[in-house]
Amino acid sequence: MVASCLSIVTLYGGFLHRCISAAGLASQATNIDDQTTMHFWGPTPKTFSPTKPSLILIHGFGPHGVWQWRQQISYFAHKYNLYVPDLVFFGDSATKSPERSEVFQAVCVGKMLERIGVDRYSVVGTSYGGFVAYHLASMWAERVEKVVIASSGVNLRRKDNEELLKRAKHERIEDLMLPANSAQLRTLLSLSVFRRPYTPDFLLNDFLEKLYSENRKEKMELLKGLTLGRDDKVNITPLKQEVLVVWGDHDQIFLLEKAYELKKCLGEKARLEIINKTSHVPQLERARQFNKIINNFLCGLS
């Protein structure tokens, strides 16, 4: 009876918003053109500091930005002017444009930052957000200072998706990345988290209803619109910026071998950090170590 009446996800969402507000960020939105609105969490006029560098956190596929970055927001907000955008069709970001690629997502984030007056910044992207971060750094090389790509197979090949589906025992990538029932969500969690606590079905169903039910059609189009992973060869070039690649040693979405290959693909300015006993979300599984690694890289301490 309690499980059916009380939404733990809703309660935790309220807690998240209080944590983010306490860190000095506020919910904001801007129209980047006549078709697209970008929602983001960013500093208020009172908490913005012209002496702080700017840092952008780009979420992966799944729950929108703040759900994936809470412990990073709490850690980095006092050191940086921090911006956490919702990618298009996640959270309150939306577009009337037919574009659905990760390149389009990068254009939207870049235009959003231009619109709100953020001229120079570093960027951290996880999973799908790493795809976006890569293109953002490539297209706005004069604005992006440093790049962190976490748990993100930017060097994706077609066979990698095929092998992922075999591990998941699914036929379609959307059944994995956009779960529609508790069994599919359990499969996603089994591939994404190293140590998986038991989660009852009522809680999984609460997650599905609150975090996976909106814009499903458009999110399926985003998966089909990916430009990466269409071919049997890697279609990326080195970035001009210093790049840090961060990976969990037990990642089952993008296997660890992809991390070593990605480091080589990104050139001499790329380095790799592996976080032990984590899978696809090291920023959640070992947040303190993840934050320290990122901070040292951004500050030039490693």
Output the pLDDT for position 48: 96
pTM of the model: 0.96
Output the pLDDT for position 179: 96
Average pLDDT estimate for 272-282: 98
82 vs 72: CA distance, rounded Å? 10
Report which of 262, 212, 222, 174 is spatially closest to residue 91, judged by C-alpha positions: 212
Output the pLDDT for position 183: 96
Report which of 205, 167, 202 is spatially closest to residue 188, judged by C-alpha positions: 167
Q: What kind and span of H or E run contains 271? A: strand 270-275
- Give me the CATH topology for the region 2-298: Rossmann fold (3.40.50)
Residue 267: left if φ>0, alpha if ψ -120 to 50, beta else—which one?
A: left
Output the pLDDT for position 6: 76
In sequence order, which residues have a C-beta less than 8 Å from that of residue 1 and are 6 or more positions away?
Answer: none
pLDDT tier at 5, thresholds 50, 70, 90? low
Output the pLDDT for position 3: 46
Query: What is the sign, positive or negative, of the torsion defined by CA atoms of 279, 276, 128, 83?
Result: positive
Backbone angles phi, psi at 202, to 5 degrees: -65, -35
2 vs 156, higher pLDDT: 156
Round the average pLDDT of the chain to a whole number and report it: 95
Average pLDDT estimate for 217-245: 95
58 bridge partner residues: 125
pLDDT tier at 113, thresholds 50, 70, 90? very high
pLDDT tier at 65, thresholds 50, 70, 90? confident
Inform me whether the pLDDT recorded for 140 exceeds 60.
yes
Q: In this predicted model, what pLDDT tens digit does every residue of 26-53 receive, in sequence order?
A: 999 999 999 999 999 999 999 999 999 9
Q: Do residues 25 and 91 lie in contact, with contact meaning Cβ atoms separated by under 8 Å?
A: no
In sequence order, which residues have a C-beta less than 8 Å from that of residue 111 and are 6 or more positions away?
Answer: 32, 33, 36, 38
Average pLDDT estimate for 43-65: 95
Domain ranges of the chain: 2-298
CA angle at 131 for the pair 140 and 261, rounded to the nearest 5°: 110
For residue 32, what is the DSSP state? S
Inform me whether the pLDDT recorded for 4 exceeds 60.
no
Q: What kind and span of H or E run contains 273? A: strand 270-275
What Å distances lie between residue 86 and 14, 32, 103, 247, 264, CA to CA?
A: 17, 13, 15, 23, 30
Using a pLDDT cut of 70, give the percent of the chain over it: 98
